[in-house]
Amino acid sequence: MFSGTEPWSDGVTDNEGSLTEREVQRIVGLIEALERSSFDGLEVEIDGLKLTLGRGGTAGSSAASLSPNVRLPSQSAAPPAKTAAPQAAPPTAPAKAPAAKPQGAAQPGALEVRAPLRGIFYGRADPSSPPFVTLGAKVSAISTIGLVEVMKVFNAVPAGHEGEVVEICAEDGQAVEAGQVLLRIASGKASA
Amino acid sequence: MFSGTEPWSDGVTDNEGSLTEREVQRIVGLIEALERSSFDGLEVEIDGLKLTLGRGGTAGSSAASLSPNVRLPSQSAAPPAKTAAPQAAPPTAPAKAPAAKPQGAAQPGALEVRAPLRGIFYGRADPSSPPFVTLGAKVSAISTIGLVEVMKVFNAVPAGHEGEVVEICAEDGQAVEAGQVLLRIASGKASA
Amino acid sequence: MSVSRVFVANRGEIAGRVIRACRALGVETVIGVSEADRDSLPARQADRAVCIGPATAKHSYLDMKAVVAAAVGTGCDALHPGYGFLAESASLAQLCADHGVTFVGPTPEQIHRMGNKLEARLLARQLGLPILSGSEKVGSAAEALSVADRVGLPLMMKAASGGGGRGMKIVRDRNEIASQFTSAAAEARSAFGDDTLYLERYISNARHVEVQVLGDRFGHVIHLGERDCSLQRRHQKVIEEAPAPGLDPALRNAIREAALTLARGMNYQSAGTVEFIVDADTDTFFFLEMNTRIQVEHPVTEAVTGIDLVQEQLRIARGETLRYRQEDISLTGHAIECRITAEKPHEDFRPDPGRIDRWDPPQGQGIRLDSHCFAGYEIPIFYDSLLAKLIVHESDRDAAIRRMSQALADFRIEGVGTTLPFLAHAIQDEAFGAGRVNTNLVAQLIAEMTAQPKAGA
Amino acid sequence: MSVSRVFVANRGEIAGRVIRACRALGVETVIGVSEADRDSLPARQADRAVCIGPATAKHSYLDMKAVVAAAVGTGCDALHPGYGFLAESASLAQLCADHGVTFVGPTPEQIHRMGNKLEARLLARQLGLPILSGSEKVGSAAEALSVADRVGLPLMMKAASGGGGRGMKIVRDRNEIASQFTSAAAEARSAFGDDTLYLERYISNARHVEVQVLGDRFGHVIHLGERDCSLQRRHQKVIEEAPAPGLDPALRNAIREAALTLARGMNYQSAGTVEFIVDADTDTFFFLEMNTRIQVEHPVTEAVTGIDLVQEQLRIARGETLRYRQEDISLTGHAIECRITAEKPHEDFRPDPGRIDRWDPPQGQGIRLDSHCFAGYEIPIFYDSLLAKLIVHESDRDAAIRRMSQALADFRIEGVGTTLPFLAHAIQDEAFGAGRVNTNLVAQLIAEMTAQPKAGA
């Protein structure tokens, strides 16, 4: 059984640049090469990148104590490396995080409103004000659904879609990543 | 069985950088080369690149004692990974490499003269001088067998043992690690 | 008034600055850090670091009780507030006094009085300082209209509890006064908890000139010359210098004297800054406000006077008399400071937090860098975007500009976007070089820069 | 004599220093790096970096042909040698000339003449400079004995091709002259390829005072005051300052004039340093040698004169006349430099290469740091141990000592051992503070320091 991990060794390297598409392809190439071979494990470190491949759970066990980030395939009954590998792509520095995957169970047809950048989400203009939107509220594409503050600069987040708010996914005052889903909107037609 | 090692505890040095096409090809080449070989494990570190490849736990056990250069472990029947894995902790920055294990086939009874620190080994006082010692030479414990230069400071290396030089392991002008065996002396009684 | 262990109630470069001043005087330091700043450079530099709350400033650096409790709990006998956060909170100064902790700054009364811009304006007027025509307070849109009719447009609408450039609106059109009044009042209430507004004549060709003062507990007050901080973006200073270039000598002297008059009039103690606006068309000046704390731009004054302002704050706080009389102060050469922030100038100065991958500051003669950054530092999203203050000191202004231009070019920061390209553009501007600075210059420079093709890499 | 692209034939902090000076003049730079320095800071700072050979200096930085070939191959029209390596090689200067590359330094003849210490001594004597009594050359142990009988003991035995403190032996005992002669000649032959020795009177209470000079191609020569570099360990400078403290004014003036006499006598061009030994017991001085290159300690002169010496070197090299007359030079305040090296002072200054884990340099007014180091830098084993030069400039010597003491205390370096603890000890020494410096002081300070319990961490 394959178990791949990217133990970016410690906190410092964790924060650095992201794994590009091409790098993933290359890593897959390595994995497949190892797969074709009779070896049980492979470790690669190039500058910021460390790759540990293993069989029989050994790589996983050594990696478990490592980086807090990036742990992939703990899928236990996972298929062979071929499928596990592409998922290995993930990590990326917090500050430069790409769009996160949808969280929670998406409702069919629901449109997502995502954080335009990393920061602190505010669902109301100030603590004494009512929330910008509530569950069931109707919004237009230009309705402000919240603010994201980064380094003392506030950025209004527009709904981007017309419709009804069916789920609010971020709490007032919560730190959000760029691309994180803030709320979901049902029906209506998307705009802008 | 594979056993992972992370012999690069301080990843701070490892600034960015990516896996290039060529590097991948090289690693694949190494894997295939090892596959064709009769070896059980491989570890490579060249510049920013470290590679550990193994079977049956050999990589792990060998890594514990590795200093940062290319090394092909010749141990064959190694114990299983479970015990090898914890040893995986090791590491050390290159500059602070611990004493390397003896290299080559030790002659029974031969005494080793090791480099007292990391630096450049010189077997003669200057290019026009004869070597400090030659094969078969008799040395006393205080005989100078060479110099190790670090940051423009020269350190004389005493033989430390009385006896006859039976092997010279370091070349004139070669970079040596602290603890690396420089030469071997047969018989005589050890002193100092 | 013993000052033997100072609690540093701040973060970033100013925290390091305070720690250095303390160490120079043999004073221990304890820094209160948020969870986001546990591994920051100042946290390492202080003798001890204690966590005072979560990353959000509201629950850490702005939590007065947490701050004072930490100061008391770590045996500190004094507290330095830096700038920003609680630095101009009279309540913090009072809370310190209540707990026997020496506040490194002026008295709670002095902070309170200058904190309310209307009260400050009133005191200045009583002391004979020139103030801009306008209102003492406007309670309604109708009142605002009548001020406009009396004083004329354009006007600057300000929040009485604002200051430092926050909560200001330019009123240019009589028809918009009512709506601007309503929104400004709402914003002021939300931001400062006080919706009191006032109006002042707006000066279009304006320079921002401020005078550094020092006062002790014995009524001695001196000034350390003035700084020009006209280069501002959205009322935030970008480049500052000392002395102010090209001021008429009589005007320069009058401004310095006015600052002394105000500071003496209130027996001001500690370091403070009296801010003025200079109408460059008429060579007249007007009192704006007083900042009762150390300023971001204090190093340019340190450079030309050779006096360490933070050390003087500490000495004053522990009850020493001023070590300088006015006649001891002489100014040497010219100093310029550039604020380097994590903002992308080509993307409307969008904040760009993240990890600093490379940090190679400029080196050489006449260069000072005050910063808490280093290669590998992860800039938190929670606080302001100031990364470093680059200060140069040279024999004259032209040499200082050349030095700064060079230092900016030598500075290599990678991993985050910074204002270095904008600063490099601004410092080489002809109008700036000629000393023709005003508060609109930055906007022009930004427009110029963004019109140019973006510099490579 | 065009200087539009400069080849930087050096590494470490001086490479960065040269690159900065070039950039300030709008001159491009190409640096030649060994394989060990490919990722060094100067390699990033230069417009371009080319590899000139393997890590071992002999096959890279000391390989004259490789250096000049790389300069020519990258289209450089000038070459700056820095200090050390080939900086005082007349052959390199000649090879540059042969290939149409402007050598940033004096002529090959000037380098050659001052490179042979006996020739330099001869010229100095011809020009009327005081020299130490001794021999012009000793060809045998017997000759050395007769010099000893004539001049008296102790004597300093020196290699004619040595210089910079290398290859020197103190002769204290008449019975040891023969064996010392033999071993010194062997060492000189091995180190410099020339076993010519000479003897000079040894001064026990000696100060090292050197005068910075600048000359152009048109016969103009000025001095920029003197530096005191008496604090030396094994003839290597550790702390330098400008001006020299506590020199009798007449003596100071005589030393400066002597330097001018020598430099004028040879129509010296570029930056150079005339070194003297001062007998502190008699207030007399003697010519030692002249260094025909920029010195490590040049920043202290830059601090007190405000003149950028490396930029002046480049200007002179491209054929400009000196921009300063002697009367334009005035000295302001006092400057001190400490050399921070990767050596463990508590382990007999054992070199300690390795990875710099933490590098937090001091900040603030009056501090300059010239360095090629950064957190994460792996110090190679192949070159010297200089990590950084910390320079302070203050209004007077006491203030400079306080500033340096503080700056040393603020400097945090982890991962390798450094001389910071020793420097911090030395700078606070009472004799140093009183200006009672001589070339034996460092040895005393080391003895004191190692007698004390080692400071924590």
Query: Mind listing the pLDDT tens digit for each residue in D146-161?
Result: 999 999 999 999 998 8
CA distance D20 to chain C (A): 7
Chain C residue nearest residue D412, CA to CA: C45
Residue pairs spanning B and C at CB distance below 8 A = 4
- Tell me, yes or no, if B126 comes closer than 8 A to chain D by beta carbon: yes
Question: Comparing B62-76, C235-249, C278-292, which segment has the lowest mean pLDDT?
Answer: B62-76
- Tell me, yes or no, if C306 comes closer than 8 A to chain D by beta carbon: yes
Give the relative orientation of helices D12-24 and C397-410 as an angle to the nearest 10 degrees.
130
Would you say residue D10 has pLDDT above 80?
yes
pLDDT at site A112: 93
Specify the CATH number for the domain of residue D372: 3.30.470.20
How does DSSP classify residue A151? T
**Higher-pLDDT residue of B74, D133:** D133
CB < 8 Å to C308, chain D: 365
Which residue range forms the structural domain that includes residue D99? 5-104
**Higher-pLDDT residue of A13, C141:** C141
Residue type for B69, please?
N
Would you say residue D5 has pLDDT above 60?
yes
Specify the CATH number for the domain of residue C70: 3.40.50.20
Q: Report how far Cα C206 is from the mean position of its chain's Cα atoms.
A: 18
Q: Of D162, D186, D201, at which residue does a domain stop?
A: D201
pLDDT band at C185 (very low <50, low <70, confident <90, very high): confident
Instruction: Give domain status of residue D128, yes or no.
Output: no
pLDDT at site B54: 58
For the segment C308-322, the average pLDDT, to the nearest whole number, is: 98
For the segment A116-127, the average pLDDT, to the nearest whole number, is: 88
pLDDT at site A145: 92
Same domain, D188 and D242: no
Contact (CB<8Å) D363/C364: no
Residue pairs spanning A and C at CB distance below 8 A = 51
Contact (CB<8Å) C20/D395: no
Same domain, D169 and D220: no
- Strand (E) or helix (H) holding D19: helix D12-24
Residue type for C267, please?
N
Question: Comparing A120-124, B96-100, C259-263, which segment has the lowest mean pLDDT?
Answer: B96-100
Beta strand segments in D342-437, E: 343-344, 350-351, 354-355, 358-360, 367-371, 378-379, 386-394, 412-414
- Tell me, yes or no, if D328 comes closer than 8 A to chain C by beta carbon: no
Same domain, C71 and C11: yes
Q: What is the mean pLDDT of chain D?
A: 94
Same domain, C361 and C230: yes
Contact (CB<8Å) A48/B10: no
Specify the CATH number for the domain of residue D152: 3.30.1490.20
Would you say residue C258 has pLDDT above 60?
yes
Alpha helices (H) along chain A: 11-14, 21-36, 58-63, 81-87
CA distance C359 to chain B (A): 12
Rg (CA), chain A: 21
Q: Of C184, C201, C218, at which residue does a domain stop?
A: C201
Same domain, C192 and C315: no
For residues D236 and D349, the answer to whether their CB atoms sit within 8 Å is no
Instruction: Give domain status of residue D213, yes or no.
Output: yes
For the segment C288-295, the average pLDDT, to the nearest whole number, is: 97
pLDDT at site B58: 39
pLDDT above 70 as % of chain A: 41
Same domain, D91 and D143: no
pLDDT above 90 as % of chain B: 24
Domain count, chain C: 3
Point out the residue among A29, A42, A59 whose CB comes nearest to the CB of B53: A42
For residues B53 and A83, the answer to whether their CB atoms sit within 8 Å is no
- Tell me, yes or no, if C359 comes closer than 8 A to chain D by beta carbon: yes
Same domain, D336 and D429: yes
pLDDT at site B30: 57
Dig out the tokens for B175 from the structure.
């970079």
Instruction: Give domain status of residue D63, yes or no.
Output: yes
Beta strand segments in B25-71, E: 41-46, 49-54
For residues C46 and C19, the answer to whether their CB atoms sit within 8 Å is yes
For residues A43 and A4, the answer to whether their CB atoms sit within 8 Å is no
pLDDT at site D297: 98
Same domain, D155 and D96: no
Instruction: Give domain status of residue C270, yes or no.
Output: yes
For the segment D191-219, the average pLDDT, to the nearest whole number, is: 93
CB < 8 Å to D362, chain C: 20
pLDDT band at A36 (very low <50, low <70, confident <90, very high): low
- Tell me, yes or no, if B95 comes closer than 8 A to chain D by beta carbon: yes
Starting at the edge strand found earlier in the chain, the sheet holding C48-53 runs C48-53, C28-34, C5-8, C78-80, C102-103
- Tell me, yes or no, if A95 comes closer than 8 A to chain C by beta carbon: yes
Same domain, D56 and D165: no
- Tell me, yes or no, if B16 comes closer than 8 A to chain C by beta carbon: yes
- Tell me, yes or no, if D364 comes closer than 8 A to chain C by beta carbon: yes
Same domain, D145 and D284: no
Contact (CB<8Å) A30/B35: no
CA distance D19 to chain B (A): 24
CB < 8 Å to B59, chain A: 41, 43
**Higher-pLDDT residue of C376, A95:** C376
Contact (CB<8Å) D368/C369: no
Subunits with 3+ Cβ pairs within 8 Å of B are: A, C, D
CA distance C342 to chain B (A): 20
Would you say residue A13 has pLDDT above 80?
no
pLDDT band at C454 (very low <50, low <70, confident <90, very high): low
**Pairwise CA distance, residues C218 & C212, whole Å:** 18
Contact (CB<8Å) B16/C376: no
Beta bridge partners of residue C404, listed in sequence order: none
- Tell me, yes or no, if C374 comes closer than 8 A to chain D by beta carbon: yes
Instruction: Give domain status of residue D117, yes or no.
Output: no
Catalytic residue among D293, D315, D318, D339: D293
Chain D residue nearest residue C370, CA to CA: D363
- Tell me, yes or no, if B175 comes closer than 8 A to chain D by beta carbon: yes
- Tell me, yes or no, if C257 comes closer than 8 A to chain B by beta carbon: no
What is the interface pTM, i.e. ipTM, of the complex?
0.70
Would you say residue B42 has pLDDT above 80?
no
3-state DSSP call for residue C228? strand
Active site amino acids of C: 293
Q: What is the mean pLDDT of chain B?
A: 62
Instruction: Give domain status of residue C118, yes or no.
Output: no
Point out the residue among D306, D360, D402 whose CB comes nearest to the CB of C41: D360
Give the relative orientation of helices D420-427 and D397-410 as an angle to the nearest 10 degrees.
150
Instruction: Give domain status of residue C414, yes or no.
Output: yes
Subunits with 3+ Cβ pairs within 8 Å of D are: B, C
Contact (CB<8Å) A47/B5: no
Q: Which of B53, B61, B92 to mutate to test the interface with A (most CBs of A within 10 A)?
A: B53
D300 CB-side CA count, 13 A = 28
Contact (CB<8Å) A120/C354: no
Instruction: Give domain status of residue C410, yes or no.
Output: yes
pLDDT band at A47 (very low <50, low <70, confident <90, very high): low
Same domain, C83 and C211: no
Would you say residue D303 has pLDDT above 80?
yes
Question: Comparing A103-107, B67-71, C334-338, which segment has the lowest mean pLDDT?
Answer: B67-71
**DSSP letters for C17-34:** HHHHHHHHTT-EEEEEEE
Same domain, D216 and D189: no
Q: Of C149, C170, C201, at which residue does a domain stop?
A: C201
pLDDT band at B66 (very low <50, low <70, confident <90, very high): very low
CB < 8 Å to C357, chain B: 15-16
